[in-house]
Each structure stands twice: as structure tokens, then as C-alpha cells.
Amino acid sequence: MERQTKYWTIRELDQKGQQSIKEAAALLKKQELVAFPTETVYGLGADATKETAVSKIFKAKGRPSDNPLIVHLADIEQVPHYVKRVTPIAEKLINTFMPGPITVILPSNEKIATNVTAGLDTLGLRIPDHPIARALLREAGLPIAAPSANTSGKPSPTTAIHVFHDLNGKIAGIVDSASTNVGVESTVVDCTGDVPIILRPGGITREQIEEATGVVTVDPTNDQQTDKPKAPGMKYNHYEPEMPLWLVDGTSAFFQKEIDRLTKQGLRVGVMASEELIGKLHVSNSRICGSKSDLTTIAVHLYDTLRSFQAKDTDVILGEVFPKQGIGQAIMNRLEKAASEIIRQ
């Protein structure tokens, strides 16, 4: 069903900005869906205490109902309100990294609507490090369930234009506050036991978590397509651009050979790579997604670059492979899920 989507542009929290926040929060309180910026990606918010509001998220995104949602809070003090206990590991991560790009999984006390957790007895909680997001959460005065604000299976939105492209006419409102500054989603960490388990790599790196807690493990299903990963969302297709993405793992000479081979076969090849690699290649259809010397720049531009290729002039995207260190773990997790093939030298 098509409907009118309200659109607010907020660049600062001046009087006009505050007024827009009030209008957006009023819609959330009326159980409507509002997309809003966070430091990672744009989220699609709904009142997490109301089953009817939450069910609209699954419908608008076309999201499978067994994939639980993260609940967003304005302040650290609200965390104990929604969980049975805050484990020592969670306490450490909360105090070190929140607000910030991390989600802690804790035993739920069932104050949140059951469709948020998709029947699990745990709950993911996150406090975004973004002034507009927190102003909206405070004004709504509610815990807000919010997945990334994209059509299920597509790259996550890092600008309000991406949200508009996927969800205009399907949701009540979009709060536009420029590009997000991390670019990949939060790190999802199971904190129910004695050792933090990374279920989804993200904006806070494994190295940072290890430094804070002294110990960390990574759920092995992270990198696999399996039926029973601990973060249920990891089993579905994700982050896919309009045309197939193939990753090329090898030297620049090997990359060039692949471009030439596929072009000879009649395929219109697009290349997504660092400025360092693009500088060494001969290819007309290419996009720089950042610098290899600073992988945070790749994270910031990753989804926008994937979305920028158009089927009218590109049959296949060849993408660079990055080192799985620091933020590179999140980047490669997303690229490997988005890709249908990896071509190795």
C-alpha cells in the first residue's frame, strides 16, 4: 500500500531541528515507522513495546520474521530495565563502548514485544552515538526496535536517499541527517556468558573488545552460510547490489587479467576498489571506495559504492579483497555475504 512518507532534513538541533524531532517522535508514539540516522547506518524505528508497531517493520522491509531486531535506547541507565541481569562482561563493554557501534545481547526480561526477539530469550541492546538519534529516542521516551532501513537483502543505507529509494511510500517518515560516519553496522556481542562472543563483526573491532575485556571469541558461523547461526540474521542473503558481485583475491596484474577476460566474454565489468588498486588498473567503469591505507574510509563508502552501480551499464562488479584486520573484519564479512563468487589467484 502506497502512502505519503514525511521527510525532515535536520542538520543541527536548532529550533527547527527540535520541531522536526518532535514530529518524528509523535509518529513513533502513534506506532508508525520512522527511519533515522545512527553513526553506523540508517535504522527503521518502531515502538519496541508494541507488537503491531514492530510487525510493520517486517512488512515494510520484507524481512523474515525469525530474524530478531536490535532495541535502541537513549541512555546507558535504561539498559537494566529490559534485561534479567547485566553480566560483568556486558557491564565492561557498555562502560567502554556505549554510546557507540556495539550491540550487547543479554537475557531478556520480556518487557519488549515478543516479535522483536523472534522468540529468543535474549535481547540485543544498543545506544547509538549520534545526536539526532539520541534526541529522537529521548523525545519518543520509548525503546525503539530498529533494523537497518533497507529492503531486506539490499546493502544497508548510509544516506537518507538510500532509505528513500527503498522505503518511500511504505513508511511514515524519514529523518535525513547527512551520511553516517562509520558505514558498517554495530558489532553484535553475545554477553550472556563469561566470555564475549562476536556474533557479527562491526564498528567496534575484535581487537578493541579484547583490549577492554582481556578475552573474546568469534562465533564460527560468522563467516559461513549456515542454517543455525547464533545471530539468526546471518543466514540470509545480505547487502546484494543490483548485479552480481565477484570478489577478486590476487595481485593487481591478476585483477587486470580478470577484467580483460570477462570483458572479452562480452560482460560489462564494473570495478569497486581502493584508490591504490584503481590507480594500477585500466578500466573505464570503476568506483573508488576508499584508501587501503585507512580501512575506515572503505567502511564509510562500502554500501554507497555497492548501490552506485546500475544495471543499465554494468553486468558484474569485480570487488577488491581487504585484510581481515580491525574494521577489515566487518568489511570482508559484508563483502563475502554480498558476493556470489570469489575468484582466487
Instruction: Please give the residues from 3 up to 62 whose contact with ligand TXA meets the rule CB under 6 A.
Output: 38, 40-41, 43
Q: From the list ligand TXA, Mg ion, none, pick the one residue 123 interacts with, judged by a Cβ distance below 5 to 8 Å according to partner type.
A: ligand TXA
Asked if 158 interacts with ligand TXA (CB under 6 A), we say no
Asked if 40 interacts with Mg ion (CB under 5 A), we say no
Asked if 183 interacts with ligand TXA (CB under 6 A), we say no
Q: Specify the stretch interacting with ligand TXA by CB under 6 A; choose among 184-192, 215-223, 245-253, 337-345.
A: 184-192
CB of 127 to ligand TXA, least distance (A): 10
Bond into 99 cis (ω within 30): yes
> Which grid coordinates belong to 32?
508508525
CB of 285 to ligand TXA, least distance (A): 29
Q: Which of 145, 100, 107 is nearest to 123 (CA)?
A: 107
Asked if 319 interacts with ligand TXA (CB under 6 A), we say no
Asked if 159 interacts with ligand TXA (CB under 6 A), we say no
Q: From the list ligand TXA, Mg ion, none, pick the one residue 124 interacts with, judged by a Cβ distance below 5 to 8 Å according to partner type.
A: ligand TXA
Instruction: Please give the residues from 129 up to 148 whose contact with Mg ion meets the rule CB under 5 A.
Output: 148
Instruction: Please give the residues from 79 up to 118 whose contact with ligand TXA meets the rule CB under 6 A.
Output: 101, 103, 105, 117
Asked if 233 interacts with ligand TXA (CB under 6 A), we say yes
Q: Which of 310, 331, 311 is nearest to 322 (CA)?
A: 331
Cβ-contact 57, 34 below 8 angstroms: no
First to last CA, the chain: 48
CB of 43 to ligand TXA, least distance (A): 3
With b meaning 16 or more CB within 10 Å and e meaning fewer, what string describes 42-57? bbbbbbbbbeebbebb
Instruction: Please give the residues from 274 up to 293 whose contact with Mg ion meets the rule CB under 5 A.
Output: none
CB of 102 to ligand TXA, least distance (A): 9
**Residue 121 buriedness (CB in 10 A; 0-12 / 13-18 / 19+):** exposed
Residues near 225 by Cβ (< 8 Å), separated by ≥ 6?
Answer: 235
Cβ-contact 295, 334 below 8 angstroms: no
Instruction: Please give the residues from 283 up to 312 whose contact with ligand TXA meets the rule CB under 6 A.
Output: none
Asked if 196 interacts with ligand TXA (CB under 6 A), we say no
C-beta closer to Mg ion: residue 20 or 150? 150
Asked if 188 interacts with ligand TXA (CB under 6 A), we say yes
CB of 41 to Mg ion, least distance (A): 7
Question: Residue numbers of the site for Mg ion (CB under 5 A)?
Answer: 148
Question: Residue numbers of the site for ligand TXA (CB under 6 A)?
Answer: 38, 40-41, 43, 67-70, 101, 103, 105, 117, 120, 122-124, 126, 146-148, 185-186, 188, 199-200, 230-234
